[in-house]
């Protein structure tokens, strides 16, 4: 038996030949995510400079970053508005999805009655509801929060239902063998079992909620928010402000996703999705 | 030695009279068990063996009150299975360890006694948990998560979890089937050792003739579906049974008896089993 084969069997060399593995965990955790971003922004910067692209068409990232650095208060204030709408929408979607999925997981009749409504929400382009919400709720954060919530709702409810329902049958029988109540099974088995699926949805939904909040702002009824500022910048040809808003939203999306992932890593240490090997 | 300390009775017998059970799947009725009669005295270790699909696991779930009989009657310690379930009469050990992966070994052990408040609910003290963990050889792993343990270790936790309830009846559904042969052999003797210190009646479903003979006072052989009691073999091998007993003549003699009964039960039955 070769040394390599022996080493692999003892678990000291990863199966992929050692490109990224237990020997260099810091690389995968901290360096790799920035490599892709560096390539993207580096390529963008080079292209703009070498091809002589007009800033009106595409400003270089360095120019957008300089603009952001010059107007931090403006972007922080508007970013906070959009963030609050997105987070409220995210929380609303999560809460309603959990309630709906819990009812569906416990009753096939409720599931049959509810599923067409969920399919309807899923099939309807949520963006077209933004002007309707604007008509209903006027100049307030509510229309934006509702659009954000609708964007995040379907992935949450479908993952929550899958997680709550697809519990291990042997474990369920063990709990039933001591006559555990529905609430006990729900709290001790179904909810923890659903957490990995909920976090998987959360990683996607946090960005979707941000998209929803911005779409809500783009449709009007706002005086603040990055979506609103992007719309104003577009109508007045304020290229730096337009790209500054876009970049701020991108950074917010990345930070929110990282926050969800950090929370997931902390709470789901027991789950295979958090295995580093 | 594990000290018995319970609010439920220490011992319970199991009585089945003309028990029948059918399942309806896609409008098709399948008779799983029919006219099953047997009695298990309190404190006995009884294995149930039979061909695949003969209703062994169904029988265990009927006794444990997880399913309801269609015909006939089952009593456990004079109560219905459902009453027994409410009183925490049963310690169930399924084929998979069925542990909660987000709870440590210790937390898995303490959960079941805390459930079902107001009925058989009881609190486990740390001393009792430590005692159980020592008994199953996992004292050092109290704070480990199940994923950090091997399959055999997880199944030992599952066994300890069932014993933590101090159940008058242990229901074991092929608990060692997924383990490798070496681990499986050691688990059999561990089970014998733990059971010796409890007053529990054991119903043990298995596909292994050797396992049935090694562990049991009696072996119930079920026929192919629909499951009927095809034979009942008393295992007259002295206890305690220790390593090496599998080489004894008496062991081979009993294994041959069970094998012959199983062959007859398999050949003589209706293979379709549907009505």
Contact assignment for B98 to A173 by CB distance below 8 Å = yes
pLDDT of residue B252: 96
Half-sphere exposure at residue A158, Cβ-oriented, CA atoms within 13 angstroms: 15
Residue B242 has pLDDT above 70, yes or no: yes
DSSP B48-112: EE-STTSSHHHHHHHHTTSS--SEEEEEETTB-HHHHHHTT-EEEE-SS----TTS-HHHHHHHH
**A170 contact B CB<8A:** yes
Specify whether the CB–CB gap between A227 and A217 falls below 8 A: yes
pLDDT of residue B265: 86
Q: What is the ipTM of this complex?
A: 0.89
Closest chain A residue by Cα to residue B119: A179
* Integer-rounded Cα radius of gyration of chain A: 23
CA distance B267 to chain A (A): 31
Confidence at A276, pLDDT banded by 50, 70, 90:
low
**B76 contact A CB<8A:** no
Contact assignment for A170 to B94 by CB distance below 8 Å = yes
Helix (H) / strand (E) containing B205: strand B201-205
Of the candidates B250, B216, B251, B247, the one whose C-alpha atom is nearest the C-alpha of residue B234 is: B216
**B147 contact A CB<8A:** yes
Burial B189-218 (b: 16+ CB within 10 A, else e): bbbbebbeebbbbbbbbbebbbbbbbbbbb
Q: Best interface-test mutation with B: which of A177, A196, A199 has the largest number of B CBs within 10 A?
A: A177
Partners of residue A194 in chain B, C-beta under 8 Å:
none
Residue B2 has pLDDT above 60, yes or no: no
Contact assignment for B116 to A178 by CB distance below 8 Å = yes
Closest chain B residue by Cα to residue A187: B115
**A187 contact B CB<8A:** no
Mean of pLDDT values over A150-166: 94
pLDDT of residue A209: 97
Contact assignment for A192 to B90 by CB distance below 8 Å = no
Confidence at A13, pLDDT banded by 50, 70, 90:
very low
Closest chain B residue by Cα to residue A196: B102
Question: Poorest-confidence range of A80-94, A125-139, B49-63, B142-156?
Answer: A125-139
Instruction: Tell me the C-alpha distance between B132 and B154, whole Å.
Output: 14
Q: Model's pTM, two decimal places?
A: 0.82
At A38 the three-state DSSP class reads helix
Residue A246 has pLDDT above 70, yes or no: yes
Residue A149 has pLDDT above 70, yes or no: yes
Q: Tokens standing for B178?
A: 């997924």
Burial A119-137 (b: 16+ CB within 10 A, else e): eeeeeeebbebbeebbeee
Mean pLDDT of chain A: 88
CA distance A171 to chain B (A): 5
pLDDT digits (tens, 9 = 90+) for B35-82: 999 999 999 999 999 998 899 999 999 999 999 999 999 999 999 999
CA distance A165 to chain B (A): 15
Reduced to 3 DSSP states, what percent helix, strand and coil does chain A have, rounded to the nearest 5?
A: 80, 0, 20
Mean of pLDDT values over B174-192: 91
Confidence at A126, pLDDT banded by 50, 70, 90:
confident
Domains of chain B: 7-89+168-275 (3.40.50.300), 101-166 (no CATH)
Residue B124 has pLDDT above 80, yes or no: no
Specify whether the CB–CB gap between A178 and B90 falls below 8 A: yes
CA distance to A113, A219, B43, per residue, from B241 (Å):
59, 80, 16
Residue A15 has pLDDT above 50, yes or no: no
Contact assignment for B111 to A189 by CB distance below 8 Å = no
Highest mean pLDDT among A30-34, A135-139, A244-248, B178-182: A244-248
Partners of residue B102 in chain A, C-beta under 8 Å:
192, 195, 268, 270-271
Contact assignment for B101 to A270 by CB distance below 8 Å = yes
| Separation of first and last alpha carbons in chain A | 24
**A270 contact B CB<8A:** yes
Instruction: Tell me the C-alpha distance between B190 and B211, whole Å.
Output: 13
Contact assignment for B116 to A174 by CB distance below 8 Å = no
**B145 contact A CB<8A:** yes
Closest chain B residue by Cα to residue A269: B102
pLDDT of residue A204: 94
Residue A4 has pLDDT above 70, yes or no: no
Contact assignment for B145 to A173 by CB distance below 8 Å = no
**How many beta-carbon pairs below 8 A join chains A and B?**
70
Partners of residue A175 in chain B, C-beta under 8 Å:
112, 115
């Amino acid at each position: 038996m070769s040394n390599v084969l022996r080493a692999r069997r003892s678990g000291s060399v990863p199966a992929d030949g050692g490109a990224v593995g237990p020997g260099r965990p810091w690389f995968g955790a901290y360096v790799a995510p920035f490599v892709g971003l560096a390539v993207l922004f580096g390529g963008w910067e080079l292209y703009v400079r070498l091809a002589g692209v007009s800033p009106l068409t595409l400003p270089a990232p360095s120019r957008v970053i300089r603009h952001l650095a010059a107007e931090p208060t403006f972007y922080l204030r508007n970013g906070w508005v959009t963030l609050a709408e997105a987070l409220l929408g995210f929380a609303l979607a999560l809460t309603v999805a959990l309630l709906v999925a819990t009812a569906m997981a416990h009753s096939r009749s409720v599931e049959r009655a509810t599923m067409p409504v969920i399919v309807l929400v899923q099939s309807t382009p949520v963006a077209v509801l933004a002007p309707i919400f604007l008509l209903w709720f006027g100049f307030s954060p509510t229309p934006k929060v509702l659009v954000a919530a609708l964007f995040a709702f379907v992935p949450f409810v479908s993952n929550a239902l899958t997680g709550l329902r697809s519990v291990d049958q042997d474990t369920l029988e063990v709990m039933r063998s001591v006559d555990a109540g529905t609430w006990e099974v729900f709290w001790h088995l179904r909810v923890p079992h659903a957490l990995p699926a909920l976090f998987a949805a959360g990683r996607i939904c946090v960005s979707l909620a941000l998209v929803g909040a911005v779409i809500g702002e783009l449709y009007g009824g706002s005086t603040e928010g990055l979506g609103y500022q992007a719309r104003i910048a577009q109508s007045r040809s304020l290229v730096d402000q337009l790209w500054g808003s876009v970049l701020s939203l991108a950074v917010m999306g990345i930070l929110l996703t990282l926050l969800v992932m950090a929370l997931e890593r902390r709470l789901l240490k027991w789950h295979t999705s958090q295995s580093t090997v | 030695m594990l000290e018995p300390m319970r609010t439920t009775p220490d011992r319970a017998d199991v009585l089945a009279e003309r028990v029948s059970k059918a399942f309806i799947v896609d409008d098709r009725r399948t008779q799983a068990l029919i006219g099953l009669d047997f009695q298990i005295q309190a404190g006995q270790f009884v294995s149930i063996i039979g061909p695949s699909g003969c209703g062994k696991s169904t029988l265990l779930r009927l006794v444990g009150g997880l399913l309801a009989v269609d015909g006939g009657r089952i009593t456990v310690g004079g109560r219905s299975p459902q009453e027994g379930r409410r009183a925490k009469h049963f310690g169930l050990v399924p084929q998979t360890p069925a542990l909660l992966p987000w709870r440590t070994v210790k937390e898995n052990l303490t959960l079941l006694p805390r459930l079902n408040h107001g009925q058989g609910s009881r609190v486990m003290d740390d001393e009792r948990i430590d005692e159980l963990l020592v008994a199953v050889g996992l004292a050092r792993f109290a704070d480990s998560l199940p994923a950090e343990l091997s399959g055999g270790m997880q199944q030992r936790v599952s066994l300890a979890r069932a014993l933590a309830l101090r159940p008058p009846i242990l229901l074991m559904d092929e608990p060692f089937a997924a383990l490798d042969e070496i681990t499986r052999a050691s688990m059999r003797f561990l089970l014998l050792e733990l059971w010796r210190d409890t007053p529990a009646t054991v119903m043990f479903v298995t596909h292994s003739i050797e396992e049935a003979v090694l562990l049991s006072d009696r072996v119930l052989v079920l026929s192919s579906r629909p499951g009927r009691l095809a034979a009942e073999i008393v295992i007259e091998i002295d206890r305690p049974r220790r390593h090496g007993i599998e080489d004894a003549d008496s062991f081979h003699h009993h294994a041959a008896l069970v094998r012959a009964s199983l062959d007859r039960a398999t050949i003589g039955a209706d293979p379709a089993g549907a009505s």
